[in-house]
Structure 1
Amino acid sequence: MPLTLTLSKGVLSLGAEKQAVAQITDAMLKWHGLTGNKVMTPNITATVHVLPRESTFSGGKEFSGAWVEWKTPSFAFASREIQQGFFADATNIIHELSGGKQPKENIYVNVVHTVDGAWNLDGQAMTNEQLGEAISKG
């Protein structure tokens, strides 16, 4: 499940991005009841993009923002409880790691779901059912 963390430069201090990825990953696993799952944990990957403030916008004007985006199968983040709990955790993680400087209203979290059967695990396309079976073994 790829996580993309995009930040305006200066939202987090240099090196705090690694803490953010680790904590956001842990929160995702926690909210899905998968903490310690040996199949899912190594299949959560992440990229971090730190952009100049002049390249991040709100309402067409430059600003400092943070974006947490997951790409997942459709069964992930499916319950309202998980959505609300994880989104609050992710927002708080970025806010706290910024030393409280990054306003919560400028931290954005979203999830993009893939088409069933279009998920790659161990080099093969898997359906949601196949993926669920693999994860249940972990």
Structure 2
Amino acid sequence: MSYIKSIYTGFLWALTIATLCFKNEWLQMRVNTGLIFGGLLLVLSIVLILLSQKKKITLNWITTLGSLIICTVIGLAVYGFSRMKVVPAALVREGINQTRIPFATINKVLLIVTFGGAIIILATELMNRKK
């Protein structure tokens, strides 16, 4: 389960950082910012897995919920609600080079991963506490 927590937390922060990079017009014109998301997801997940295995950090439902709230607030503060409906989907679509996939489809997948991951982590933590 620690792998899922690490990958999920890496996903949240990679998407947030890549979304911030997407706002930089100079960077966006020169680099596929969608690849920044993929690269950060890989790097952050590996770093978080290694740190949690060495007991340097503890990933639990509190850190999961905290990361989700902080990343959401950052995104809304930088882009606003209406732009946040488009930017993450555009970022992912650019990263996978599939411009024919509608934003709505990518947004549905992102929402499922985001809230589904949080629910799975929270449910697992609650079941482990009952044992």
TM-score by length of structure 2 reads 0.30
Higher helix share: 2
TM-score, length-normalised on structure 1? 0.29
| More strand as a share of residues | 1
